[in-house]
């Protein structure tokens, strides 16, 4: 190979697809050994943003594990800076970060010495067996368990230990001026200053920078939820470390692959194509899924097939976590074809100010008034005004000329916590689909906003996700109308004896057979596919329906933008039932009212059909011939809803359907049947 010959840092492989956002699907393969050979230690600074908002729903002990896993990357620590945005403004989370800063002095050299994977202490000690002849293993585990116990005890008592308070009085005194989590000044603390020669681990190696930020909040100012927190982090980090590459993760998404940074740099630092990319998205994976994925949370087919098609057509969307951004692209810069970025020269800005002075200087950047009369939230940073701020931000980056890439290494880059109750899942998907629909109905509609900016195939692919919520209408029709018409004696489908039944049978069979084949090919199980189909129905008849109504009310001015945090904690009984793959209901909710009513409605329709067939023997075959497809559809829906019937009438544990839901659903279903018959 000639000295100046170009050798790519990643390879693109073509795969086949069958629908729009799978056309020309590609798989990217980075070569991190080439990255090391070519650049050595001339690597750019990396700023990592971790966002949390509520210490009750997102326990500080979990946040600590995420932060420690980010600090332990296989990357020069002096070029690594980790920022925690605490939108809950909690001194409990701040205390947990102090514990993390201290434990990192032991954890980081341990990870480096023994090549620990995953780098989250909780996940590692839970899954790894104690190696032979490693004396440090039990001592490090004991130190971690002691730290975890202190954090959980402090959180439970809601009181900082007196000796810790006195030792870190400078930090904790900030909470003397905090009125509430929605009314407080900016709290910014550099817990580990990577520029300080004394910031070293137990073996004398430098530590990454660690920063705690609780941005200013006042009741009279809108704080814009996670998008506002991210934008505050972008500004403050630009003065402290100014890494040209930004990684953002949710507080429950710990790092599972120590080389994820290097994978992304193979894209950004490729001499021929690297300058085109604004962000690199990793898949959102989970470490708490059951064997058959009872709630269908894995996004298995989407991430293994569909997103690769988006990649080939201009790039995947930004999904809010596990994403590496080019700072310039995130800050509103447009892509210029002939301009080249030299990431080797864009290392961390060396600020000569002392940490205490730097803290005071940066506080104004996270104030409520800083963004007033600026383009932040409009053209710079994450876009405001949508529950799915990630989707619209990624779209705006692509419309400024940048491409994006999807990397799915053999070892997952990040692992998070999936919902373990049905209501958590439905609420989470309501927020996602509501955000997508609002984007479609806004000026950021991909068809219009992306016109002549991104490829048509990519715009149409975005719309397939933006219109998820609208699918509730067709689904509700198939769930409600056939069973009511069956009771009334109205035929909706061709007779079984008619040749026109063949197209219906072909479409139904081929679609589900192909869907099952895809799911199994992507590593799922048959029961997992059944659960996925069940959740598909549950989400479309509840989450998508509520998302559609909320969007309409917002457009009419009767509803305000809200951001619902998915809880990451559950009691022991709920966790036990989740491990046994029992669907958790447990609480009353309008969503459960709809689910139960639809389930009973189809059960009554099936009973009515069976009665017609069995009680009129002379007309039984005629009834089957005339209503065969409707009866089959009702029976399929009854089969899908078996866990709902079990929760309504047979389960005795706390995860059963509440009695109020049972009574209301029976009344609603009987009323609907009565109106349909008469």
Q: Which residues of 263-276 are buried (b: 16+ CB within 10 A; e: fewer)?
A: bbbbbbbbeeebbb
Instruction: Summarize the confidence of residues 591-607 as an average pLDDT.
Output: 94
Q: How confident is the model at residue 11 (pLDDT cuts 50, 70, 90)?
A: confident
Per the rule left: phi > 0, alpha: psi between -120 and 50, beta: everything else, 242 is: left
191 class by beta-carbon count within 10 Å (0-12 exposed, 13-18 middle, 19+ buried): buried
Alpha-carbon distance values, 672 to 64, 477, 483, 573, 667 (Å): 51, 14, 11, 36, 9
481 class by beta-carbon count within 10 Å (0-12 exposed, 13-18 middle, 19+ buried): middle
Alpha-carbon dihedral sign for residues 238, 215, 50, 229: negative
Write out the two tokens for 46: 């990396």
What are the pLDDT digits (tens) for 216-238? 999 999 999 999 999 999 999 99
Q: How confident is the model at residue 348 (pLDDT cuts 50, 70, 90)?
A: very low
Instruction: Summarize the confidence of residues 94-102 as an average pLDDT.
Output: 96
The SS3 of residue 250 is strand
Question: Which residues, in sequence order, are CB contacts of 5 under 8 Å at separation 6+?
Answer: none
Residue from 87, 252, 270, 408 carrying the catalytic annotation: 87
Question: Picking from 6-10, 139-143, 202-206, which range would have the lowest pLDDT averaged per residue?
Answer: 6-10
What would the 3-class secondary structure string for 154-204 be?
HHHHCCCCHHHHHHCHHHHHHHHHCCECCEECCEEEEEECCCCCCCECCCC
The SS3 of residue 351 is coil
Contact indicator for 28, 10 with CB cutoff of 8 Å: yes
Closest residue by Cα to residue 281 from 420, 434, 402: 402
Percent helix, strand and coil across the chain, each rounded to 5?
50, 10, 40
Residue with tokens 């809950």: 88
Q: How many CA atoms lie within 13 A of 527 on its CB side?
A: 6
Q: Give the residue, 251 or 11, on which the prediction is more confident.
A: 251
Rounded to the nearest 5 degrees, what angle is found at the Cα of 518, between the Cα atoms of 512 and 522?
145
Alpha-carbon distance values, 71 to 75, 81, 261, 337, 388 (Å): 9, 8, 12, 35, 28
Instruction: Summarize the confidence of residues 276-303 as an average pLDDT.
Output: 92
Q: Is 87 annotated as a binding residue?
A: yes
Query: What single string gives the DSSP state of each residue in 392-413?
Result: HHHHHHHHTT-EEEE---SS-S
What local confidence, expressed as pLDDT, does residue 3 receive? 52
Instruction: Summarize the confidence of residues 647-663 as an average pLDDT.
Output: 94
What are the pLDDT digits (tens) for 512-557? 999 999 999 889 999 999 999 999 999 999 999 999 999 998 888 8
- Length of the chain as a residue count: 678
DSSP 646: I
Q: Is 170 annotated as a binding residue?
A: no
Question: Which residues, in sequence order, are CB contacts of 577 under 8 Å at separation 6+?
Answer: 584, 653, 655
What would the 3-class secondary structure string for 101-167 be?
HHHHHHHHHHHHHHCCCCCCHHHHHHHCCCCCCCCHHHHHHHHHHHHHHHHHHHHHHCCCCHHHHHH
Q: Is the pLDDT of residue 676 over 60?
A: yes
Instruction: Summarize the confidence of residues 320-348 as an average pLDDT.
Output: 83
Closest residue by Cα to residue 347 from 47, 655, 33, 28: 47
Q: How confident is the model at residue 612 (pLDDT cuts 50, 70, 90)?
A: confident
Closest residue by Cα to residue 672 from 470, 488, 471, 539: 488
Which contacts of 223-227 are long-range, i.e. CB under 8 A and separated by 24 or more positions? 223/87, 223/182, 223/368, 224/377, 224/384, 225/87, 225/389, 225/563, 226/51, 226/53, 226/87, 226/320, 226/382, 226/389, 226/563, 227/377, 227/381, 227/382, 227/383, 227/384, 227/389, 227/393
Contact indicator for 572, 420 with CB cutoff of 8 Å: no
Q: Is the pLDDT of residue 158 over 50?
A: yes
CB atoms within 10 A of CB 279: 29
What local confidence, expressed as pLDDT, does residue 560 receive? 67
What are the pLDDT digits (tens) for 564-582? 666 666 688 999 999 999 9
Instruction: Summarize the confidence of residues 433-444 as an average pLDDT.
Output: 94
Instruction: Summarize the confidence of residues 264-271 as an average pLDDT.
Output: 93
Integer Cα distance of 247 and 279 in angstroms:
9
What local confidence, expressed as pLDDT, does residue 567 receive? 67
Q: Name the β-bridge partners of 405.
A: 280
Instruction: For the chain, give the percent of residues with pLDDT over 90.
Output: 69
Integer Cα distance of 536 and 636 in angstroms:
14
Q: Which domains does the chain have, with CATH numbers?
A: 14-418 (3.90.550.10), 468-677 (no CATH)
87 is an active site residue: yes
Question: Which residues, in sequence order, are CB contacts of 14 under 8 Å at separation 6+?
Answer: 24, 25, 26, 312
What are the pLDDT digits (tens) for 189-200? 999 999 888 999
What local confidence, expressed as pLDDT, does residue 171 receive? 87
What local confidence, expressed as pLDDT, does residue 329 receive? 95
CB atoms within 10 A of CB 112: 16
Write out the two tokens for 626: 């005339």
Integer Cα distance of 33 and 190 in angstroms:
34
What local confidence, expressed as pLDDT, does residue 563 receive? 60
What local confidence, expressed as pLDDT, does residue 1 receive? 46
Integer Cα distance of 306 and 458 in angstroms:
12
Integer Cα distance of 672 and 678 in angstroms:
10
Write out the two tokens for 345: 């020269």
Instruction: For the chain, give the percent of residues with pLDDT over 70.
Output: 94
Contact indicator for 230, 49 with CB cutoff of 8 Å: yes
Q: Is the pLDDT of residue 111 over 60?
A: yes
What are the pLDDT digits (tens) for 473-492? 999 999 999 999 998 888 88
Contact indicator for 243, 46 with CB cutoff of 8 Å: yes
Q: How confident is the model at residue 306 (pLDDT cuts 50, 70, 90)?
A: confident
The SS3 of residue 573 is helix
What local confidence, expressed as pLDDT, does residue 526 receive? 96
Q: Is 250 annotated as a binding residue?
A: yes
Average pLDDT, the chain: 90
What local confidence, expressed as pLDDT, does residue 256 receive? 96
Write out the two tokens for 237: 């980090």
Integer Cα distance of 122 and 115 in angstroms:
16
Residue from 86, 311, 390, 412 carrying the catalytic annotation: 390
Integer Cα distance of 12 and 35 in angstroms:
16
Element (H, E) at 30: strand 26-30
Q: Is the pLDDT of residue 620 over 80?
A: no
Integer Cα distance of 460 and 466 in angstroms:
10
What local confidence, expressed as pLDDT, does residue 566 receive? 67
Per the rule left: phi > 0, alpha: psi between -120 and 50, beta: everything else, 284 is: beta
The two beta strands, 46-52 and 187-192, are unpaired
What local confidence, expressed as pLDDT, does residue 305 receive? 84
Q: How confident is the model at residue 558 (pLDDT cuts 50, 70, 90)?
A: confident
470 class by beta-carbon count within 10 Å (0-12 exposed, 13-18 middle, 19+ buried): middle
């Amino acid at each position: 190979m000639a000295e100046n010959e170009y050798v790519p840092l990643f390879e693109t492989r073509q795969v086949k697809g069958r629908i729009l956002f799978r056309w020309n699907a590609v798989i990217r393969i980075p070569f991190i050994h080439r990255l090391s050979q070519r650049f050595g230690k001339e690597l750019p600074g990396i700023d990592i943003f971790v966002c949390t908002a509520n210490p009750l729903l997102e326990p500080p002990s979990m946040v600590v594990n995420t932060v420690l896993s980010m600090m332990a990357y296989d990357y020069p620590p002096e070029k690594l800076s980790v920022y925690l945005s605490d939108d809950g403004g909690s001194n409990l989370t701040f205390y947990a970060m102090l514990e993390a800063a201290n434990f990192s002095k032991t954890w980081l050299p341990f990870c480096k010495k023994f090549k620990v994977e995953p780098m989250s202490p909780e996940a590692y000690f839970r899954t790894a067996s104690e190696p032979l002849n490693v004396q440090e293993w039990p001592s490090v585990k004991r130190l971690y368990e002691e730290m975890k116990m202190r954090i959980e005890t402090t959180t439970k008592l809601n009181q900082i230990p007196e000796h810790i308070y006195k030792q870190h009085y400078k930090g904790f005194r900030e909470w003397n001026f905090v009125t509430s989590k929605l009314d407080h000044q900016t709290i910014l603390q550099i817990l580990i200053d990577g520029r300080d020669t004394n910031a070293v681990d137990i073996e004398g190696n430098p530590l990454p920078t660690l920063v705690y930020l609780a941005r200013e909040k006042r009741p009279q100012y809108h704080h814009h939820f996670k998008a506002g927190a991210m934008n505050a982090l972008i500004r403050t980090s630009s003065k402290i470390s100014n890494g040209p590459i930004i990684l953002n993760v949710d507080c429950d998404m710990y790092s599972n692959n120590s080389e994820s940074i290097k994978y992304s740099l193979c894209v950004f630092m490729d001499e021929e194509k690297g300058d085109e990319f604004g962000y690199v998205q990793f898949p959102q994976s989970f470490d708490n899924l059951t064997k058959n994925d009872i709630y269908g949370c894995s996004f298995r087919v989407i991430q293994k097939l569909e997103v690769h098609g988006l990649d080939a057509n201009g790039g995947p969307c930004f999904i809010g976590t596990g994403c590496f951004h080019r700072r310039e692209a995130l800050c509103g810069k447009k892509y210029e074809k002939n301009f080249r970025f030299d990431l080797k020269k864009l290392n961390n800005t060396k600020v000569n100010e002392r940490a205490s002075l730097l803290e005071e200087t940066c506080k104004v950047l996270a104030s409520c008034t800083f963004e007033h009369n600026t383009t932040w939230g409009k053209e710079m940073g994450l876009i405001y005004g949508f529950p799915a701020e990630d989707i619209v931000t990624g779209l705006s980056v692509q419309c400024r000329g940048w491409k994006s890439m999807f990397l799915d290494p053999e070892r997952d880059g990040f692992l998070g916590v999936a919902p373990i109750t049905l209501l958590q899942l439905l609420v989470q998907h309501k927020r996602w689909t509501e955000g997508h629909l609002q984007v479609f109905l806004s000026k950021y509609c991909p068809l219009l906003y992306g016109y002549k900016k991104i490829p048509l195939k990519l715009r149409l692919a975005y719309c397939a996700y933006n219109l998820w919520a609208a699918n509730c209408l067709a689904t509700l029709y198939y769930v409600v109308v056939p069973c009511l018409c069956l009771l009334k004696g109205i035929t909706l489908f061709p007779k079984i004896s008619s040749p026109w039944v063949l197209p219906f049978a072909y479409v139904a069979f081929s679609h589900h057979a192909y869907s099952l084949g895809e799911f199994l090919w992507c590593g799922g199980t048959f029961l997992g596919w059944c659960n996925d189909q069940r959740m598909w129905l549950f989400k479309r008849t509840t989450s998508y329906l509520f998302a559609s109504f909320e969007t309409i009310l917002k457009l009419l001015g009767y509803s305000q933008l809200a951001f619902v945090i998915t809880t990451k904690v559950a009691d022991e009984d709920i966790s036990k039932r989740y491990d046994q793959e029992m669907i958790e209901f447990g609480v009353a909710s309008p969503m459960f009212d709809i689910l139960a009513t639809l389930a009973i409605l189809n059960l009554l329709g099936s009973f009515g059909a069976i009665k017609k067939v069995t009680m009129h023997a002379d007309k039984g075959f005629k009834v089957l011939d005339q209503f065969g497809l409707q009866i089959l559809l009702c029976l399929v829906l009854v089969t899908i809803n078996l866990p709902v019937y079990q929760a309504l009438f047979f389960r005795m544990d706390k995860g059963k359907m509440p009695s109020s839901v049972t009574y209301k659903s029976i009344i609603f279903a009987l009323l609907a049947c009565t109106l349909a018959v008469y």
